[in-house]
Structure formats: structure tokens, C-alpha cells
Amino acid sequence: MIHPSAIIHPKAKLGADCHVGPYCVIGEHVELGDGCKLHSHVVVDGHTKFGRANEIFPFASIGLKTQDLKWKGGVTRTEIGESNTFREYVTVHSATNDGDSTRIGSHNNLLAYSHVAHDCQIGSHIVMSNGSTLAGHVIVQDHAILGGLTGVHQFCRIGRMAMLGGYSKVVQDIPPFMIADGNPAATRTVNKVGLTRNGVSEETQTALRQAYKIIFRDGLTVANAILALEKDLPALPEVKELIEFVRSSERGLSR
């Protein structure tokens, strides 16, 4: 299942049943898990490791050297789970500092022209819509959705089950379970559709709506909002997760 025009370094490791299409280039330190499919004109290089059943569409470029000007050499890695889809012209860059990694989980869907920069930590079941861009050191938690042409500043976090509207400019953290939109992005409401799709109970959704009001509508400082959340809301796992996310924010919340 390897096209004769593909260029594969003899030391690269390809699992069983991999498909490598025309004009693909695979570097020396690349590992492809079983059943990976590279359509055509795909470049995979650097110390890059894929799990099984990933699908990569034409002109994607994965695992190459960081664009960060602080890069001083060394071994940096790109680690990718299983069953991800990388559409046309997606770019994923390796980490900047020796020994560090850019990581992407499993079952993600990165649509055309989306970009994952150096040192990003991407969870699983995430959708990055066309042209969405992550700067370095961004964290995106499971089941988040990024609208088309969204831009995320360095070191920001996107919480679990959060959703970003198209063309959003994200310069601070987006809390889990919320919808954010705008330039700069502001948190607008609870992501009810995402919560329902992921099986979150109505009791929990009610508590998260109350949490949204406390954090974003009551005019409290973050510290006082945390006290109110702990005092007034039930100790549900999602509420605890939201409180910890807010408490640990270093860039502040998109309010």
C-alpha cells in the first residue's frame, strides 16, 4: 500500500496495513501506527509518533521544526494518538526545547488549514474547524470545538466541552462547559448543546448555569466568585472541575 513515488526513510517505522499515497515524504524518526493512511503529498518528519488509524489528507505537514525563534536544537517530539483526521494543509509543529513534546490525543478532527504550534497539548474528541490556529503552549481539553478562523494566543487554555464561535480572538482562558465568541472573545453562556450531547445531566447543567451567572454576570472578583461557587452550588464533579479551572488560571478568564 505504498505508492512508488513516496519517499520513505529506510529507518522510518510503519505499522501493518499503512497506506502511503503518491509523493508523500516520511522522515527518519517517524513512527506510524497500524492502519494509518496518508493520501498524497503529505510530509511527516522530526521525531514524530502516530498511534493507529490516523488519516492524513493532501499537503498536511506534521512534526517539522518549530517556528519559535527560541529553538536552540536538541531532540523535540510530536506525539499523536489514534483515529485522528488531519485534513488538507493542516500543520502541526514539534516542540521548541530539547526533550519537550507537542501532543495530540485521539479521535480529533482537524479541518483544512488549521494549525497546532509548538508545545501545544491537545486532548481528545476535539474539532478544530477550518483555519483555526493555536499559538505555542496552548492547552485544549477534551470535546472542545473551535469555530472557523479562530485564533488562540500563546499559553491560553480551552476548557473541556467549551465551544468557540468562528473568527474568535482568544487572549485569555475559556472555562470548561462554556461558549465564547468575539474579538476579543468573551464567555457568552453555557454550552447546553455540547453538554447534552455528552450526556451531562440536567441537574449538572442547572448548576453550571448558576455558576456562569456567578462568574460572569454578578460583578464579583474571581476570588469572590470562587467563594460563592463553593458556598452556593452542589459539589458535583463538573462544578469542581470548573472551580479548579478558574482558580488555576494564569492568563485570566475571557469575561
Q: Annotated active-site positions, please?
A: 118-119, 136
Give helix 237-247 / helix 202-216 axis angle, nearest 10°.
20
DSSP three-state, residue 188: strand
Per-position DSSP letters for 43-95, written without gaps between them: EE-SEEEE-SS-EE-TT-EEEEPP--TT---S--EEEE-SS-EE-TT-EEE--
- For residue 2, what is the DSSP state? B
| Residues β-bridged to residue 190 | 178
Is the CB of residue 3 less than 8 Å from the CB of residue 19? no
